[in-house]
Amino acid sequence: MADALLELRNLRKSYGALVVTDDVSLSVPTGEVHAIIGPNGAGKTTLIHQISGLVPSVSGQVLFDGQDVTRLPMHERVRRGLARSFQITSVLPGFSALENVSLAVQARSGSSYRLFGNAARERQLNEPAMECLNLVGLGARAQIQAGLLSHGEKRQLELAIALATEPKLLLLDEPLAGTGHDESRRVLDVLQRLRSHTTILLIEHDMEAVFSLADRISVLVYGRLIATDTPERIRANPEVRSAYLGEEEMA
């Protein structure tokens, strides 16, 4: 596909005799929200690790923005606009929400100056950081210590931190995991808002969210992609139904 932002070609990963991702080929065009679904242990997280550079692939290629990034380290992929939202572990609990995002802005700008101290420099970091916080709906919570935020707010903060790297593609591993009903609605609203800013590739177990959010869905079963299609066609696909989705889940 000529305008693919991300293209996976025959990607494969194994641990000893266990083949975890097997010959995975996939194109994600700019502007798409693409969801990867599949049963537990299907290889979804491993695939995201291979794309982000956390886990090396045994064979195959990852092309991003027209370039082969298969052998590049993770930080180099981030620099090129391939961001990964790291679960709450990446949030520094003793710093404010704003400081957490400012640190990511600083990392993006590649500057070596100290974060706090000089008012002009602080403004340079804080203004884009505030934009990211506003985008994820946390503007009013900017000065709150991150450790005091609710679970859902921390998930929003992770998204703001990822956005601070100005990604072309955002990789999200279960953005709704652990959120309650109201919180998941809020995070879902944020994701809907982000779709006009960045291309998104996500793994998510919440099928209602996946089917309402995704432009296209890929189904991974035992490491192999068995289908990539629109939500409507995935819902109607007999192979997908028998391999993964229960009739009632898709009704």
User: Which residues contact ligand ATP by CB under 6 A?
Assistant: 15, 18, 20, 38, 40-46
CB of 87 to ligand ATP, least distance (A): 12
Q: Which is nearer to ligand ATP, 49 or 216 (CB)?
A: 49
CA distances from 158 to 79, 143, 176 (A): 18, 16, 12
Nearer to ligand ATP, 45 or 61 (CB): 45
What is the smallest separation between the CB atom of 38 and ligand ATP, expressed in angstroms?
Answer: 6
43/152 with CB nearer ligand ATP:
43
User: Could you tell me the smallest distance in angstroms from the CB atom of residue 66 to ligand ATP?
Assistant: 27
Alpha-carbon torsion (225, 230, 234, 236), positive or negative: negative
CB of 129 or CB of 225, closer to ligand ATP: 225
What the block records as the tokens of 39 is: 């049963």
Q: What would the 3-class secondary structure string for 120-169 be?
A: HHHHHHHHHHHHHHHHCCCHHHCCCEHHHCCHHHHHHHHHHHHHCCCCCE
Element (H, E) at 182: helix 181-194
Within its chain, how far is the Cα of 90 from the centroid?
Answer: 14
CB of 3 to ligand ATP, least distance (A): 28
Closer to ligand ATP by CB, 135 or 177: give it: 177
C-alpha 183/C-alpha 48 separation (Å) is: 24
Q: How far is the CB of 205 from ligand ATP (least distance, A)?
A: 7
